[in-house]
Amino acid sequence: MRKIFLWLAISGTLLISTPLFAATILVFGDSLSSGYGLRAGEGWVDLLAKELAPQHRVFNASQTGETTDGGLSRLPHALKQYQPDIVILELGGNDGLRGLPVSAMQHNLTAMVKLVRQQGGQVLLVGMTLPPNYGQQYIQQFQHSFVAVAKQQQLALVPLLVAGFAADLNQFQPDGIHPKAQVQRQMMNTVLTGLRPLLTTAQRKSR
């Protein structure tokens, strides 16, 4: 809902103002969004929340180790709890790391998109890649799956969360998977580019 202020008064005396927000945003992802290996406040989701405050609210329901199957089972509760206008869906990386079938990942992502839409929300899908040792064919299928879901469901898409440094191991923690603090703002800006059009739509709906 749009940002307005409710003035509560007793006997004509102003007590408080309570802000209502233009959009409630839920980040629903895995360790790349939960801040794995980072200090509190360093992750890209925390930076996004600061960037969008006070006009919008950002909640983080990301869980380290989450797969699309686990996400699908958790999502109904998260939607009920947060009632988001926009869901940033950043899942699939752990499916790929486990070598799970791409078709199953696509099915789960599509099912999550439909759940969000049934609640009246919008989805920003965030794609990922895999380390080179997973083989070129599987990596291509994995990356294309995000594009395919976005095209089939007519979604906004951030093709690659780690765009701009995916091949630079110096930007990753020792595990070679989780980005360091120094590139979290870059990740935030990458997501924000795809998010801004949805924020505009959410603000129009709230008027």
Indicate which residue of 69, 107, 178, 206 is catalytic: 178
Q: What are the structural domains of the chain?
A: 22-206 (3.40.50.1110)
Indicate which residue of 31, 34, 62, 145 is catalytic: 31
Mean residue pLDDT across the chain: 91
How far apart CA 67 and CA 53 sit, in angstroms, is: 29
Residue 104: HSE in the Cβ half-sphere, 13 Å Cα cutoff = 13
pLDDT in the model for residue 202: 77
Residue type, 163: A
Measured in Å, how far apart are the chain's first and last C-alpha atoms?
Answer: 8
pTM for this prediction: 0.90
pLDDT in the model for residue 201: 81
How far apart CA 1 and CA 56 sit, in angstroms, is: 9
- For the segment 118-155, what is each residue's pLDDT rounded down to a tens digit? 999 999 999 999 999 999 999 999 999 999 999 999 99
Residue 126: HSE in the Cβ half-sphere, 13 Å Cα cutoff = 27
- For the segment 19-47, what is each residue's pLDDT rounded down to a tens digit? 567 999 999 999 999 999 999 999 999 99
Q: Is 31 a catalytic residue?
A: yes
Indicate which residue of 17, 73, 103, 175 is catalytic: 175
Judge whether residue 203 has pLDDT over 90.
Answer: no
Asked if 187 and 162 count as a contact pair (C-beta separation under 8 A), the reply is yes
Q: Is 178 a catalytic residue?
A: yes
